Chains A and B, each alone.
Chain A
Amino acid sequence: MKAHASRLIAARLGLALLTLLIVSAVVFGITGLLPGDAAQQALGQAATPEAVTALRHQFGLDQPALQRYFEWLYLVVSGNFGTSLSNSLPVSQLIATRLPNSLMLAGLTALVSVPVALFIGISSAMFRGSLLDRVLNVLTLSTVAVPEFLIATIAVLVFAVKLRWLPALSYLSEVSSFGGLLRIYAMPVMTLCCVLVAQMARMTRAAVLDQLNASYVEMAILKGASPMRVVLRHVLPNTIGPIANAVALSLSYLFGGVVIVESIFNYPGLASLMVDAVTNRDMPLVQGCVMVFCAAYLLLVLIADLAQIVSNPRLRQR
């Protein structure tokens, strides 16, 4: 019954859209409605009530909150986030120039961290309880808890200050060759990878262990299959779903991690744009960035869910 799987997928899609809608309401509520009267703030305390009323009308602030929300939502859906307050460029244009940089950083980080994490996770699950497993457990447990800026400062101290191999700041305009690319991205990617690998490895280990406890594994061992064969042939196919889930969830950590890393290395990505917007209290820009972040996060979670559905043969073919 393929219909069952597609019905599940449709339900997940609907759920993601509903969540995005609620998120947009929350974001608009926090940034648009709660902070008080933008007209009063723009004119200052000395403004006459008439002037405030006029400006409020001009901003559309005298409309009911719900109507303002839907008008804003309509604009956002059509890709118009308004203009930035600090440099009066369209927000969508600002985001469009920064987004590829962030995607590049995230993509490279994923490319490096996923294989490493899967290797660590699976091998520590295979040798559960061994010295290797315990050492890896303490290592990942500690790395998860370390703030990104500690890793970043240590990296800068070692590679930029002491060894002078890498530049401390990322200037993307200087990228001309593969070597240059490597030099620019080495430290931001390394910093992000540290925490990411630790998280992902822990979740992968848990997912694999979960399967290793299943009775079919015991059966395979009793039949005399080698440990290698048990893991590769019996366990791994069953863990694709949970592992995909683990990978997607860990990658979602990137949305928080990049905020710090981009601003340490002065990397021109979306997160540093957002931090600047928050510092300048540039609301349209903040709203735009947040919506992009949340949409990306939901997309990741959605992909994880779909991977879980698709990788489960019981749902795929019957």
Chain B
Amino acid sequence: MNRPANSSIHHPGTELYDMGLDEIVSDLAVPEPELAGPKPGVLKRLHRRFSVLGLIGLVLVVFWLIIAVIGPWIAPYKSGALSSVDVFAGSSHAFLLGTDYLGRDMLSRILYGTRYTVGLALAAALMASLIGTFFGLIAAVSGRWVDEILSRLFDALISIPSKVLALVVIAAFGSSIPMLMGVAALAYIPGAFRISRSLAVNLMTLEYVQVARARGERLFYIARVEVLPNMIHPMLADFGLRFVFIVLLLSGLSFLGLGVQPPNADWGSLVRENIGGLAEGALAVMMPAIAIATLTIGVNLLIDNLRRRGGRGQGAAQ
């Protein structure tokens, strides 16, 4: 029963953030107590759950999510409209973020691009986390051999750096929206698999799971009822990290000209299109890159906050 939780090849993604699996697992071992007593006010609860930085992260994330939905409606110009003769213009009343290399309004371009950057990454991260968790659970609850084979396979996938893997797949199949989503998911399934597997393997050694086994429950039942609900919290944090990596991966690909293809543009392609204006110090190069940074930093701050306050909140409630 006691299989080692960590095999020899590690993945940067699993250790980047100083959580360490042990920390998550030790968090896990404490069953979440129900908060007793009268519920405090919304503001107070918000304050207890979020630090200032966490709140900034939350605001940034919610902001970009909303923009992803309503972006095209509030954009002052149509995405492709050549609205000015002035290329690489600076900020003005008509063009808040200046114009791009063809004289298109940069603000509108960014608003339209949000859908691609946020939407694609969300879909891909969701796919990666779901598929990774699925296989991780299978590996943890089923026998030695299944576990061994799955682990070796995903370890091999992990040892192809994600950008390199993405490049190979794009070389073979070309670049389209579904392809990009698939390749980003594929690159980050192994990471999700590793985390969910080690969480599940550790959970499998806990008493209540052993009791369920002794009761003679089927493996599927154990995975669904005993193990999965207790993995949700750390897997959500992991989902956020995976989202950040995927945003960076996809915008990196677009920056290389291998991601979202024109006439569509995500933020990475916007940077690429306008890189010629760098020498003139154009807003058009900086703004999309800054948009990416605010999104990814926002998610990171939010997760960091949830991890810290989440643990502390539990401690206080006990």
Contact = CB atoms under 8 A, between A and B. Distances in A.
Interface of A: 12, 15, 18-20, 22-23, 26-27, 30-31, 34-35, 137-138, 141-142, 144-150, 153-154, 156-157, 161-162, 168, 199, 202-203, 205-206, 209-210, 245-246, 249-250, 252-253, 255-256, 259-260, 263, 274-275, 277-279, 281-283, 286, 289-290, 293-294, 297-298, 301, 304-305
B281 A161 contact: yes
A279 B258 contact: yes
B156 A23 contact: yes
Contacts of B268: 147, 149
Nearest to A304: B10
Interface stretch (B84-92, B137-145, B287-295): B287-295
Contact of A23 (B159, B244, B278): B159
Nearest to A195: B248
Q: Nearest 5 A-B pairs (CB), nearest first?
A: A22-B156, A206-B18, A145-B296, A150-B289, A256-B163
A206 B17 CA distance: 8
8 contacts: A26-B156, A31-B171, A31-B172, A34-B172, A141-B297, A149-B289, A260-B252, A275-B167
Contacts of B251: 147
Contacts of A23: 156, 159-160
A293 B256 contact: no
Contacts of B286: 150, 153-154, 157
Chain B interface size, as a band, is 35 or more
Contacts of B296: 145-147
Contacts of A245: 10
B281 to A, nearest CB: 6
Given A149-B252, A153-B286, A157-B281, 9 more contacts: A15-B8, A34-B172, A138-B301, A206-B19, A246-B15, A249-B11, A290-B168, A294-B159, A301-B8
B5 to A, nearest CB: 15
Contacts of A209: 18
A27 B300 CA distance: 32
Contacts of A246: 15
Contacts of A298: 159
A147 B18 contact: no
B20 A210 contact: yes
A134 to B, nearest CB: 9
Nearest to A203: B15
A150 B293 CA distance: 8
A298 B10 CA distance: 10
B155 interface: yes
B257 interface: yes
Contacts of A275: 167, 256, 258
Contacts of B289: 147, 149-150, 153
B164 interface: yes
B163 A255 contact: yes
A144 B293 CA distance: 10
B68 interface: no
A211 to B, nearest CB: 12
Contacts of B53: 138
Given A145-B244, A157-B278, A206-B15, A259 B10 contact: no
Interface string B237-253: 00000001000100110
Contact of A18 (B12, B152, B258, B290): B152
A255 B161 contact: yes
B9 interface: yes
A145 B164 contact: no
A27 to B, nearest CB: 6
B252 A147 contact: yes
Given A148-B252, A281-B171, A27 B271 contact: no
Contact of B297 (A145, A153, A290): A145
Contact of B172 (A35, A162, A206, A301): A35
The listed residue with most A CB atoms (<10 A of its CB), out of B19, B157, B300, is B300
A279 B261 CA distance: 13
B106 interface: no
Nearest to A125: B18
Given A253-B12, A256-B161, A259-B164, A283 B171 contact: yes
A305 to B, nearest CB: 6
B12 A153 contact: no
B58 interface: no
B225 interface: no
A252 B53 CA distance: 30
B150 to A, nearest CB: 12
